[in-house]
Chain A
């Protein structure tokens, strides 16, 4: 696949990773069951089509509510409209779980920053400056040790 293919000029070019899909498929089945290659490919195509379908509907739901950004609520509504209402509970639970997960990590989510101590922030800042300096020097000497006397008190 050439680099330009990744940009994708048509719908057909963008698909889902086979390895991940394969795992999801296989986990649903008993271990001794085999899945023909063409069946697997078809399942992936169906999934892409599913995204297309739900995306279109989500887009419409969003328009009807006169919003400019497709939000999770629109997607959930779309699922219901299209007959996939039974997914909603699990999908919503996964969404809530994800929000919790990203809250915990210092780097994740919009609510981070409070978690990082001043020390960590300082270290991070020094590291970034060191990298920038190295780039400026055309990578001649990568300054691993930042000058500890630099006053970064903010």
Chain B
């Protein structure tokens, strides 16, 4: 699918949009969904399809934000700390705070709390 995502614009000078038809495996997604809680209802066959795209967008956004941290550090290799910094700087990624802290042992504070803001709703 060649739809240019909303977030492609943020990344100036980089690769915009996606070219490949890579999709996450639906069966795997469904498995993860079933394990997400103790009392998960039946899952329609179409729900994983929606998830597949949502995950792509999520990963794209997280990757982009992490990449911006990398750029701030004037580096060309994206490190775990960049991902952690992106999580800290983004409200909707709050659910990941523990995950990125745990892997580092301590909370990673970005050098500057960047003013990246998602478009106001």
Q: Which 9 A-B pairs have the closest CB atoms?
A: A55-B36, A83-B92, A94-B53, A52-B36, A55-B33, A34-B77, A38-B80, A69-B42, A28-B63
| Contact partner, B83, options A34, A43, A97, Cβ 8 Å | A43
| Contact partner, A29, options B32, B58, B67, B121, Cβ 8 Å | B67
Interface residues of B in 36-50 (CB under 8 A from A): 36-37, 39-44, 46-47, 49-50
Determine the interface band of chain B, counting residues with CB < 8 A from chain A.
Answer: 35 or more
Interface residues of B in 56-115 (CB under 8 A from A): 56-60, 62-64, 66-67, 70, 76-80, 82-84, 87, 91-93, 95-96, 99-100, 103
CB atoms of A91 and B80 under 8 A apart = no
Determine the interface band of chain A, counting residues with CB < 8 A from chain B.
Answer: 35 or more
Return chain A residues, CB-CB under 8 Å to B52: 94
| Contact partner, A42, options B42, B47, B80, B93, Cβ 8 Å | B80
